[in-house]
Amino acid sequence: MTLTETHTETHTETHTETHTETHTETSPRTAVAALARDVVKIYGRGDTAVRALDGATLSIPAGRFTAVMGPSGSGKSTLMHALAGLDTVNEGQVLIGDTDLAGLSERQRTLLRREHVGFVFQSFNLVPTLTAAENIELPLTLAGRRADRAWIDELVEMLGLADRLLHRPAELSGGQQQRVAVARALAARPRIVFADEPTGNLDSRAGEALLGFLRHAAHELGQTIVMVTHDATAAAYADQVVFLADGRVVGELPAPTVPEILSRMAGLGSAARSGKEK
């Protein structure tokens, strides 16, 4: 099953002229899920201006699991925010699917994110007053879309959450909370899921289970996933690792192994965590 086969575009009047969703239920997903081309992002002005992205170019392949690594301050979070439509850029082009974000208003970007982007954060970001089930369905509730019950049930089953659905986040372990967050990110069948250090607050066993699921989601469900991490063990679960330094993409490593990742990172002047010290 590919996600496009059952993904119904429910939005109408809110969409922009620049957004060309012309695919039918049988058309294949584009090979590139998101694209940044020569992107410059400057924070602040004058003497205090910081060039967080300095000509970053990156293509995110659809249906693959991509890890983004780089020294602290290299621009990973900034690039992720730009690709996810959370923030605008000063120069260059950012596309999600076929949509050029430059043509969109802030509200249109919000709607695009709601429809096409899922997020998983280090700190889980679940709503404490809602049950696990309600948290999982929150993106659909917000978008006014009806839950695809069979899909949600499948996610819950795959993530081993079936007996935790009526519990609130405080009654769940860290690993369970993060699995709820992953189910929430995938619930609306987004075009792309961004995960920012998703295993940062998990012990290694829970982290490995989560990373295994993310890889499964890419390979078996066709879900495009982009993960920012400092952890070489986590990055080695990905299909490819993209390396950033000084606001630019400086390398890519397909089929990465932990030693290769650590060696590349050492070349960038940063000590990546091997993940073993956890």
Q: Which residues bind ligand ATP (CB under 6 A)?
A: 43-44, 50, 52, 70, 72-78
Q: Which is nearer to ligand ATP, 16 or 122 (CB)?
A: 122
CB of 146 to ligand ATP, least distance (A): 36
> For residues 168 and 131, is the Cβ–Cβ distance under 8 A?
yes
CB of 80 to ligand ATP, least distance (A): 8
Q: Which is nearer to ligand ATP, 45 or 107 (CB)?
A: 45
Half-sphere exposure of 49 (CA within 13 A, CB side): 10
Q: What is the dihedral of CA 49, 39, 33, 23, to 10 degrees?
A: 110
Beta bridge pairs of residue 121? 196
CB of 32 to ligand ATP, least distance (A): 22
| Element of type H or E holding 251 | strand 248-254
Q: Which is nearer to ligand ATP, 152 or 261 (CB)?
A: 261
Query: Which DSSP string do the residues of 15-51 spell out, in sequence order?
Result: --TT------TTSPPPSEEEEEEEEEEEES-GGG-EE
Q: Which is nearer to ligand ATP, 115 or 196 (CB)?
A: 196
CB of 123 to ligand ATP, least distance (A): 14
Q: Which is nearer to ligand ATP, 11 or 37 (CB)?
A: 37
Residue type, 69: M
CB of 2 to ligand ATP, least distance (A): 31
